[in-house]
Amino acid sequence: MKDWIKNSIIYEIYPTSFYDGNGDGIGDFVGIEAKIPYLVDLGINTVWMNPFYKSPFEDGGYDVTDYCAVDEKFGTMEEFESMMRAFKKAGIRVIVDLVIGHTSDKHPWFLESKKRNPNPKYKDWYIWTDNCFRGGWKVMLGMSDRDGGYLVNYYAIQPALNFGYNEITAPWQMHYTDPRLKPLRDEILRIMRFWLEKGVDGFRVDMAQSLVKQDKSGEGCRWLWNILIGETKKLYPDCCFLAEWGNPKAAAACGFDLDYLCHSTPAYNEIFRTDKGENIAEWFEAFGKTYFASHGEGSFQNFAAYTADLYKDENVGFSVPTGYHDMIRIADNKSVDVLKGIFAFVLTYKCIPQIEYGDEIGIKHNWKLHKDGGYVRTGARTPMQWDNTRYLGFTTAKRAYLPTETAKSRCVESQLADEKSLLNTVKKLIALHKNHPALAFDGSVKVLSVGYPLEYVREKDGEKIYVAINASATPREVTAPRKIKEVLLAEGAAANGKTVTMKGGSYFIAKL
């Protein structure tokens, strides 16, 4: 893993909702460029941008119609390039979404593939059955002139691109090594080179584990990604590949630099989002007690064991997100003190920190929205909140594409003026993370307690840092494992010798 990746602090930007630079109510490239100084002040060094490609936005841009064009709602290619130059000047790396499991059903490739007599070039670029009466799970029938049904990955408007099957169970299925599939792989490589030449530093890969179908062993996925990643890194060795997988070991075997823990990672859900009302019910059938919550009834044990297993292989990299565009906002049902504890954890534990835009000011989830195929997920994609003007500074338009909150305390302007705000705490924690080698991803971690408070020690090159986080509302007292040399950062906690007294919702970070 390249040093810049190991030292990344990733910040996710949903372009539609970050900042409207031209006053039409929708976020855009001009707006993102205008807010780069904010990201620099925050301490961010890596940005992940959600899709900005040409799209009908029937699934938030994850339904592409042209991989090498920007959607006009965000601006022009020239404005994208200007934004990229500004990021480079600021020393911020940019990772963009790579959505290649499927396209929009309005993509020219699919329009050619669905014809009664398909264009030979695109005939096999999608997964088609050999008969319009022969279907199966997620196969759309009667939707084309072509005599067959097509497989979709998620929504009906997202036909699956054809990277083959591992286990063949029908005559129309192709093995992933079938030479007829090579032209599509070559096209994907060309698309990646196109954006790398535009200055991007890597890709967050949507649905990374699902490209090869019926691949229980993972052999097909490993074969495919080792080609796509391997060929790309021959020309761009510094390129980062971040997987949407939730299984860092499997992602690493495919050549990915990083995987982020997500809704399909049970141990991750247990620490952040298992309380009733914090989940998308279809994804979590069993509810428990979230560890980072004031009730103090959760457990960190499974997460500690899970990550300890990941650390056994130095090739396995992973990030821990506060949230992302598909999850319920982390601030839901949590006090500011608990949120501070969450950020203290994400920015001091052995992981790559990852922050969804707005989590640093505690934006709440909006449960009443549905736009662009987002359904309940739309509530995590509302506009960033900058100041106390109309629409909290997101836009000067008469109407914003999505509504903002009304809480004036949850905006950048208000929180910058409050020394004790969540935003100022996050800024201090990011600076701490960047200035202490022991807190880097290649520093070690030793978990001392999985109860309340959570305690662990980070160490690298002789530097030892002790972290204690009391997410519960109950005051606690702990004993540091060694003499405390210097308190680095603490809120609601104080040391007397080796004894640390902690209020409810507090954290303590010190050198040993």
Query: What confidence tens digit (pLDDT) does each residue in 458-509 have?
Result: 999 999 999 999 999 999 999 999 999 999 999 999 999 999 999 999 999 9
Report the alpha-carbon distance of residue 173 to residue 254 in Å, rounded.
Answer: 23
Identify the band that residue 274 occupies on the pLDDT scale cut at 50, 70 and 90. confident
Residue closest to 86 by CA, chosen among 43, 34, 51, 44: 34
pLDDT at 454: 98
pLDDT at 263: 84
What single letter denotes the amino acid at residue 363? I
Those residues whose C-beta lies under 8 Å from the C-beta of residue 284, and which sit 6 or more positions away, are 263, 269, 273, 274
pLDDT, tens digit, 9 for 90 and up, residues 208-223: 999 999 999 999 999 9
Report the alpha-carbon distance of residue 94 to residue 92 in Å, rounded.
Answer: 7
Identify the band that residue 281 occupies on the pLDDT scale cut at 50, 70 and 90. low
pTM for the structure as a whole: 0.97
pLDDT at 282: 55
Report the alpha-carbon distance of residue 324 to residue 305 in Å, rounded.
Answer: 24
Identify the band that residue 350 occupies on the pLDDT scale cut at 50, 70 and 90. very high
Q: Which residue has the tokens 């906690």?
A: 493
pLDDT, tens digit, 9 for 90 and up, residues 314-337: 999 999 999 999 999 999 989 999
Burial class (CB in 10 A: 0-12, 13-18, 19+), 237: exposed
Has residue 124 got a pLDDT over 60? yes
Residue closest to 364 by CA, chosen among 372, 375, 356: 356
pLDDT, tens digit, 9 for 90 and up, residues 173-204: 999 999 999 999 999 999 999 999 999 999 99
pLDDT at 407: 84
Rg (CA), the chain: 23
Average pLDDT, the chain: 96
Q: What is the mean pLDDT of residues 224-242?
A: 98
Q: What is the mean pLDDT of residues 379-389?
A: 96
pLDDT at 134: 84
